[in-house]
Amino acid sequence: MDDFGADDEHLIRGAVAALLGLEPDLEVVAETGRGDEVAAAVAAHDPDVAVLDIDMPGADGLTVAEDLAAAGARCAVCILTSFGRPGYPRRAMAAGVRGFVAKDAPTQELATAIRKVHGGGRYLDAELAATAMAAGDNPLTEREREILRLTGAGTETARIATLLHLSEGTVRNYLSTAMSKLGEPSRFAAVRAAQEMGWI
């Protein structure tokens, strides 16, 4: 089975590729350290499974997974991450990801996850699943998440309004609603809380 790895940490990416290469039925056919290079690499190498990190320059692994699904890529996606934020597994599954494994898991667990998702199944690290279930559902709407992401990137309210074709008052209303839902006193505290939960 052909696998593709994307992780911004060169040492981790190389170690994972080397360890997976010891498995007789797994072969790493390509690697990259940037999320915005994944689609081209997947198109060029046509792997059975793409193993992606969440936090990469260029594009995060969840966005890459969504883009691969939208483009009709045939490969299954497995997320390998050090971020155990409760919202990430739910976001990953919603993005079409079939596996979610913590970076501190044994190599054999990742190999098992790759085999399972290649066979059409799902694999979710038990501890990450328990954390996600305990955290509950994300209370934010897609628009609220989008506005919080832009706010977290330092985008001013007026610019957000222009980008999203909304009035500034509507943007402020979305921010106020998000702050209320998250129980936070400021837009920046709401951004931080949503990031810590893995909701944005």
- Residue 3: CB partners within 8 Å, gap ≥ 6? 20, 26, 27, 28, 29, 47, 48, 49, 50, 51, 114
**Beta bridge partner(s), residue 2:** 27
Query: Considering only CA atoms, which of 49, 53, 199, 64 is closest in space to residue 138?
Result: 199
Neighbours of 22 (CB within 10 A): 9
- Full-model pTM: 0.65
Q: Give the fold, CATH level 3, of 2-135.
A: Rossmann fold (3.40.50)
Q: What is the CATH number of domain 142-197?
A: 1.10.10.10
Task: Answer yes or no: are the C-beta atoms of 64 and 38 closer than 8 Å.
Answer: yes
- Checking if the pLDDT of 12 tops 90, the result is no
Q: Whole-angstrom Cα distance, residue 198 to residue 60?
A: 12
Range 136-144 contact pairs with CB under 8 angstroms and sequence separation of 24 or more? 137/90, 138/87, 138/90, 138/91, 138/197, 138/199, 139/181, 139/182, 140/178, 140/181, 140/182, 140/194, 140/199, 140/200, 143/174, 144/174, 144/177, 144/178, 144/181
**Beta bridge partner(s), residue 123:** 99
pLDDT tens per residue, range 112-159: 999 999 999 999 887 777 776 666 678 899 999 999 999 999 999 999
Domain boundaries, the chain: 2-135, 142-197
pLDDT tens per residue, range 35-91: 999 999 999 999 999 999 888 889 888 889 999 999 999 999 999 887 667 777 878
